[in-house]
Amino acid sequence: MAQSPSGAVDVPEPLHVVSGFGAADVAGAARWTASDTEPVLCCLCHVPGSPVMAVPPFGVVRCPICELVFVSPRLSAVALQRMYDDPAYFENTVYGDPVGRSPAMILQRTWTAGRLAGLLERRPPPGRLLEIGTGYGYFLATARDAGYRVDGVELSRAAAAHARDRLGLNIFQGQLDEAPVGDPPDVICFWDTLEHVPDPLEFLRAVRSRLADDGVVALSVPSFASPPARLLGARWWTLKPEQHIWLFTPTTLRLLAARAGLVITSVATSPLRRSNVGRTDSLVAFGRALPLVDR
């Protein structure tokens, strides 16, 4: 996957060096050096991206063919695992609220209810549900309580242990392609996960290969087409280039899904929707499997 870009590319817009990030974003980028990074190509077109902005030691680029935006250079696989294994990665999120009374945790429960309602409409239990990127397992536990037979995949050792030990969930710790296959899930969901994976096309192809032929997919990602992303540019609080290595719009998400054998059937971007409440720069999408064909 990691290859050095070669050849000149046209730059469709000015290259910005980020200097106006919030404290958390500055700290997130500043802890890494160039030795922790590697250059990559567009997962769809296999070409280098044209520079959009720089957040040293990272760069944000856009594919000149499909317009998918991604981070290159980005953290290497070893550095990424080190970041996700650090318990501090979760401390400033809803996972750092053991009582569950913070505004962030209340929002998390609202999102969970809205997203679960969307799944119940499209593929109600009983059925098997696989969540990829389970975090501490809160959504998966709620889906289990709703009647689904649930399994999870989580890269972080600390988060996987929490979901297993405290919530009694069946969690595989590692990458999706390493996880046991088992019976095809009726539902596969991955909330705020796709932007983190090394190769989203291969990830979605793996999702499709495991999904039942009449199965449903559900996901959320930060939206690079959202008003905050467009208006704030380098100062967008969700940029986080050490973590969010692929940046999607509804158009590039649909293109990527189609190449993987999936079709996106609905996209919600409004912060008034229960599945996305309060989020002005996120999208929640539901989709289904397309017939498998030889690739």
The pTM for the full model equals 0.84
Per-residue pLDDT 10s for the chain (295 aa) are 333 333 322 323 334 333 333 333 444 566 899 999 999 999 999 999 999 999 899 999 999 999 999 999 999 988 887 887 776 666 555 444 444 566 777 888 899 999 999 999 999 999 999 999 999 999 999 999 999 999 999 988 889 999 999 999 999 999 898 999 889 999 999 999 999 999 999 999 999 999 999 999 999 999 999 999 999 988 899 999 999 999 999 999 999 999 999 999 999 999 888 888 889 999 999 999 998 765 4
CATH 1.10.3210.10 fits 99-289, yes or no: no
State the pLDDT at residue 158. 87
Domain ranges of the chain: 16-88, 99-289
State the pLDDT at residue 102. 67
State the pLDDT at residue 28. 58
Question: What is the rounded CA–CA span in Å between residue 131 and residue 187?
Answer: 8
